[in-house]
Amino acid sequence: MFRLCLATLLLMLCTLPALCAAPGEAAPPWWKHAIFYEIYPRSFQDSTGNGVGDLNGILARLDYLEDLGIDAIWLTPCFPSPQVDFGYDVSDYRAIDPGFGILADFDRLVAEARRRGIRVILDLVLNHTSDQHPWFRESRASRGSARRDWYVWRDGKGPGRPPCNWLSLFGGPAWTLDPATGQYYYHYFYREQPDLNWRNPAVREEMLDVTRWWYRRGVAGFRLDAVDTVFEDPRLPDNPLEPGLNPCGDPNMINLHNYKQPEVHGLMRELRKVADQSGAVLIGETYVESAAELKAYYGEGGNELQLPTGHLLAMADRLSAPEFRRRIAAMAAIGCWPVWVLNNHDLARSVTRFGDGVHDDAIAKDLAALLLTLRGTPILYYGEELGMANHDPKRLEDVRDPVGRRGWPTGKLRDGARTPMQWDATPGAGFTRGKPWLPIPAGAATRNVAVQAREPDSVLSFYRRLLALRRSSPALLDGGYRELNPEDPHVLAYLREGQGQAVLVALNLSPEPRAVAFDLPALGWAGARPQVLLGSGGRTPMAGLPAELEPFSVVIVALGRSRPADPTGRGGKPLE
Ligand code: GLC
């Protein structure tokens, strides 16, 4: 292991100058090379002992994040909120929820993060507010209210009949009757989350102004929540139904008229214009069926979102080389800068989805290597670097997330992916002195930062080495992606090439050892002297290409600094 680290260090030293842009060449925007890290503030670090995380807790852990090599933290909503949807029901966009701290804490967090080279990204909930937001209270006060048109109000089709058949993602009709005014309001999510009417220019102006307000406070960008649901067809046509019931027990429905409406692109462009004035980044929560669909969110000439998250890797239904290869190739084919995500606060943790219960740590390292060696910007989710798995509630009465209660026991369970960060082996896992808002698994006694930081072969140590390697390697940061051995059913392999360098990555995604062979001359690297930069298998040799990969292992190999021949005639330019 020591020898591997030494090789990594040597490569880092000899490639560092290449990180700087050549004279006359524009430096890439900061978010292209950045490692983003999603923090669920309720679960990262509690500084008060009330069992819920807060901003001062995050502040106390900035050194850890800096040390890990994180460039930007995305905080899920920490604005004032009744917490029905744990912050995704905002009741004031220009303040901090008292449970998380005060604005001065936030300002200090931004300043202290900046001192460590870490940017802060906030989560902007566009689609809806809380029903406790003063805008909605005013809106619902009367039909004639000045803010009535800030939300989507409609008459029903008759007694007990909502304006159309649309359903809430979180169960039941998407329309709730307001008895006082006799009209229904629309909510794609919980009834406590009324949809804003984005066709009202006043709403647009106000929300653009909210972004300016935070940019002035030093925020480096936003993750835009639920982008796909912002607009709906104002004519309210019924959606088509499909056979069967969804996990909430409602009929299956195709959200043809209230999802992914074309108007959303105009809004993305407006938000982007404002973001550009501050050099800020926009990350989009954009779930798609295909990479081709994702392309639209980048906009014409890249004038919409810099980082729309298609969740293409996360949506793979199993750990499979052909499946991942296909998804990566689809992304490469659209010619846009990819964003890679394996985990977030809405998904079961990747170790739970892709693990086999036997080789989970090896699989966590495979996934880490994939996320951090692909071409594109990665977003990590807290605890991913420890190989944390889901810790799902076993009894209905323990479920905190309302949608989890509604769909119990077969529906979507989000609590299990939101449990506290595991810092050490104390009863509160170093997260809290009190009773944690979600339970900490018994395994936290060994799977935690303190323990893993001491173990050279831990998932955390592997992440650290990978992150350092990525930062130091121009080929990994900017190089093109070239698929290798496309027919191999078990080993996912690719080259990252650029600036006369190449890094070969080979991941065995199967539980058996697998033979591998790479034809370097055919790849244009005839004279290369391969040097292993990092490997997760215990027996990875230092020099040369491996002939066999251990079960669920990865090897990352530098081929050399310059290509001896250039059979493509492209002068060694990155492959798109
Ligand atoms: C997004 C968030 C999710 C939330 C929903 C409604 O999908 O990621 O956590 O429940 O929006 O705001």
Among 500, 514, 527, smallest CA distance to 555 is for 514
Phi, psi of 286 (to 5 degrees): -130, 95
Q: How many residues does the chain have?
A: 576
Tens digit of each residue's pLDDT (9 = 90 or more) over 315-374:
999 999 999 999 999 999 999 999 999 999 999 999 999 999 999 999 999 999 999 999
Q: Are 440 and 419 in contact (CB under 8 A)?
A: yes
pLDDT band at 26 (very low <50, low <70, confident <90, very high): confident
pLDDT band at 561 (very low <50, low <70, confident <90, very high): low
Say whether 467 sits in a helix, a strand or coil: helix
Structure tokens at 408: 């119990």
Residue 39's contacts (CB-CB under 8 Å, 6 or more residues apart) are 58, 73, 74, 75, 76, 382
* Cβ 131 under 6 angstroms from ligand 1: no
Say whether 505 sits in a helix, a strand or coil: strand
**pLDDT for residue 19 is more than 60:** no
pLDDT band at 567 (very low <50, low <70, confident <90, very high): very low
Residue 232 is among the residues annotated as catalytic for this protein? no
* Cβ 188 under 6 angstroms from ligand 1: no
The half-sphere exposure of 296 on its side-chain side, counting CA atoms within 13 A, is 17
Structure tokens at 92: 């004031």
* Cβ 225 under 6 angstroms from ligand 1: yes
Helix (H), strand (E), coil (C) string for 240-291? CEEEEECCCCCEEECCCCCCCCCCHHHHHHHHHHHHHHCCCEEEEECCCCCH
Range in 24-28, 238-242, 397-401, 433-437 with the lowest mean pLDDT: 24-28
Q: Of these residues, 225, 304, 360, 384, which one is catalytic?
A: 225
Rounded to the nearest angstrom, the distance between the alpha carbon of 226 and the centre of ligand 1 is: 6
Residue found by looking up tokens 């029901």 in the block:
89
- Tell me how far the alpha carbon of residue 302 is from its chain's centroid: 20
**In this structure, which amino acid lies at residue 278?**
S
Rounded to the nearest angstrom, the distance between the alpha carbon of 487 and the centre of ligand 1 is: 38
Rounded to the nearest angstrom, the distance between the alpha carbon of 127 and the centre of ligand 1 is: 10
Rounded to the nearest angstrom, the distance between the alpha carbon of 239 and the centre of ligand 1 is: 22
DSSP codes, 301-326: GG-S-SEEE--TTTT-SS--HHHHHH
Q: What whole-number distance in Å separates Cα of residue 350 and Cα of residue 390?
A: 9
Q: Of these residues, 38, 54, 285, 392, which one is catalytic?
A: 285
Range in 346-350, 404-408, 427-431 with the lowest mean pLDDT: 404-408
Rounded to the nearest angstrom, the distance between the alpha carbon of 86 and the centre of ligand 1 is: 9
Q: Are 553 and 571 in contact (CB under 8 A)?
A: no
- Whole-number percent of the chain with pLDDT over 70: 93
pLDDT score of 291 = 93
Tens digit of each residue's pLDDT (9 = 90 or more) over 452-463:
999 999 999 999
Tens digit of each residue's pLDDT (9 = 90 or more) over 159-209:
999 999 999 999 999 999 999 999 999 999 999 999 999 999 999 999 999
Residue found by looking up tokens 């996320």 in the block:
371
Residue 285 is among the residues annotated as catalytic for this protein? yes
Find the mean pLDDT for residues 3-19: 38
pLDDT score of 25 = 63
How crowded is residue 500: how many other Cβ atoms within 10 Å of its Cβ?
Answer: 15
The half-sphere exposure of 86 on its side-chain side, counting CA atoms within 13 A, is 22
Q: Are 452 and 386 in contact (CB under 8 A)?
A: yes
Q: What whole-number distance in Å separates Cα of residue 419 and Cα of residue 411?
A: 18
Among 381, 459, 550, 486, smallest CA distance to 36 is for 381
Q: Are 135 and 80 in contact (CB under 8 A)?
A: no
Mutational test site, ligand 1, from 42, 129, 346, 401, max ligand atoms within 8 Å of CB: 346
* Cβ 285 under 6 angstroms from ligand 1: yes
pLDDT score of 543 = 74
**pLDDT for residue 12 is more than 80:** no
pLDDT band at 539 (very low <50, low <70, confident <90, very high): confident
Q: What whole-number distance in Å separates Cα of residue 241 and Cα of residue 192?
A: 25
Mean pLDDT for all residues in the chain: 92
pLDDT score of 544 = 79
Tens digit of each residue's pLDDT (9 = 90 or more) over 278-318:
999 999 999 999 999 999 999 999 999 999 999 999 999 99
Closest residue to atom 4 of ligand 1, CA basis: 88
**pLDDT for residue 9 is more than 70:** no
Find the mean pLDDT for residues 54-58: 98
**pLDDT for residue 510 is more than 50:** yes
pLDDT score of 24 = 54
